[in-house]
Each structure stands twice: as structure tokens, then as C-alpha cells.
Structure 1
Amino acid sequence: MSLPRPLSGVGVVLERADGAVAVGHRVTAGETPSWSFPGGHLEGGEPVVAAALRELTEETGVVAATGTLFAVCVRLDGAGVTFAVHVPAPAGAELRVTEPHAIDAWTWAGPDDLPGPVFAHTAAVRQAWRRPGVALDGWDLHRVAP
């Protein structure tokens, strides 16, 4: 039995011990180039954190064992929901371009100093993480209690 693909995604805050986060230059056809956290869509029946860890590995080559759901970001124009997951970067994690049709470069950046323009879903995840309780136009942000 195949479940339909939900209109739900994950945004991954992959954070090194020094506080830098992974951000990729998004070059998906039909979109304006922007900078994005790793992420993607949930597959039918897939748990949120498992989806985040899968997308992280698929997009960056980084294999991580754990992650924590910290927010739910609802796009008010009806474009879906992004689950925000924090993942501590494994020691020595190296970012690799594995899907050049979608992301042509990865880098580490300060979470409050990402290159721009920033992809809308990444902006929502960052807002929920760095400025909980502060509204963001076009989004309904919900922090998840630890």
C-alpha cells in the first residue's frame, strides 16, 4: 500500500559545536536562487525526525544519529507546513554537493548572518529557532516544548 505524499516538509538546522549552521545555495529550476537549510518533503508515513535525518544525508552527505523537533511553521498562503528539526553536527562533518540540480554549493554560516536571499521556509525555521514568539509575515510559527 502506498500512502500519498503529504504537503509537509522538514527544515534542518544542522549546527556545529561553534554555532555555525549549514546553508546551501538553492538553484532549483523554476525558482529564484536563494540560500536554504537542508530539508525536503516527508514521505508517506515517515516520522518527522527520520525525514529530517534522511534529507540531511541525501542533500549534504552528512550522517547524523539524532535530531529534535523544535517548531512547526505553517505557511498562511496554504502552501503547507514545515517541521523544524535541530541536528547537532557530528564532529568533523563535511558538507558535500550531492544534488547539484537543487543545491550547487554548501557552506557554514552564522545563524544570524546567512547569505541572501534566504529561502522562505528557511527564514521561517530560523525565526522560530532564533526569535521564538516573534511573528514573521506570512507564517504561523509554533515552538514545540522540549
Structure 2
Amino acid sequence: MTNPDPKLYRPCAGIMLVNASGSAFVGKRIDTKEGDWWQMPQGGIDKGEDSGDAALRELWEETGLLANKVRIEAQMARELYYDLPGELKGKLWKGKYIGQRQTWFLARLTGDDADIDLAAHNPPEFSAWKWVDPEILPALIIPFKQTIYRAVLEEFRPLI
């Protein structure tokens, strides 16, 4: 994609959370009706919110992890864009955006697995979670986001 108009894309922050052994966190979205799709924590950036603060807020909302249980190790130098597939355009985000522009962070879990609590936020966003080999991340995400996951993995692979 060349020179996308940022105003057409919902600002979003995501976190690739890894543990001490280099496995990546993925959660199974509760609202996914079809397919067995998993994703890393991510979500919208509120107006006036810093992307790093948004990433940590989304991490807490989706995993229950407090900021003192993780260490941010890197931020991607560029935003990543994706377009919604045709059947979702005009339906998500009240039709205001045609996709998302995402800022991604690499974070390392400094706490324990027991600190993860999917029910910490009401309503929960994930129904299950697991640690996976980062190399399989693109295969776990819904197909229209696979390019994003490949770019995140490529950027953060040396740091994992």
C-alpha cells in the first residue's frame, strides 16, 4: 500500500507479548463466530491517548496484566496498515474507517502466567489463551491480518 490516507484508518496499538522462553501470547476472541482465529492483544487508541499507553491499556483489558508485570522492549518504527475485507467495510466502527493503522510494541512478561486473568475486564475479549512459537503467528490470525503479523514478526524476531 502506498501513501494511505491515515484519516481513513482507525488508530490502533498492539502488543507482541513474549515470555522468558520466547513464546508469544495469543488469545481466542470471544466474538469470532467462524474459524479458529487467535490474535495478539490490540485495540483502538482513544483520542489524545499515547500509543504506548493505549497498548498497555489494551493489554490489561484483554489479559488482566498490569503494566508492572511487563516490560516494553521495542516499538516498531512505522505504522502498519490493513484494509477490512469488503463484507466488513461500513459495518465495523460505525463505518467510519476502511481499516486500521497499527503501532506495534514488543513486551516481555516479567510476572507469571498466574498474573494473566482474561476475566479481569468486563466483558472479557478472549475466551482462551496460550503461548505459541512466534513463527506460527501469521497462520493463527484471521487471513486479512496475516500480512501485519508477518511484518511484526519480521521486525521483532531478532529481539525475541
Residue 51 (structure 1) aligns with:
54
TM-superposed CA distance for 1:103, in Å, is 1.1
Structure 1 residues 104, 116: closer, same or farther in 2, change over 3 A?
Answer: farther
Q: Normalized per residue, which structure has more helix?
A: 2
- Equivalent position amino acid for 2:48 in 1: G
Give TM-score scaled by structure 2 length.
Answer: 0.66
Structure 1 spans left out of the alignment, 5+ residues = 1-5, 133-146
State the percentage of identical aligned residues: 25
- 3-state SS, counterpart of residue 7 of structure 1: strand
- 3-state SS, counterpart of residue 44 of structure 1: coil
Aligned residues: 127
Structure 1 residues 30, 44: closer, same or farther in 2, change over 3 A?
Answer: farther
TM-superposed CA distance for 1:125, in Å, is 4.2
Distance in structure 1 (CA, Å) of the matches to 2:138 and 2:79? 23
Residue 65 (structure 2) aligns with:
62
Distance in structure 2 (CA, Å) of the matches to 1:92 and 1:122? 29
Asked if the contact 1:27–1:33 (Cα under 8 Å) also holds between the matched residues in 2, the reply is no
Distance in structure 2 (CA, Å) of the matches to 1:130 and 1:115? 8
Q: Which has the larger radius of gyration?
A: 2
Give TM-score scaled by structure 1 length.
Answer: 0.71
Distance in structure 2 (CA, Å) of the matches to 1:58 and 1:121? 24
Residue 105 (structure 1) aligns with:
128
TM-superposed CA distance for 1:39, in Å, is 1.3
**Which has the larger displacement, 65-74 or 42-51?**
65-74
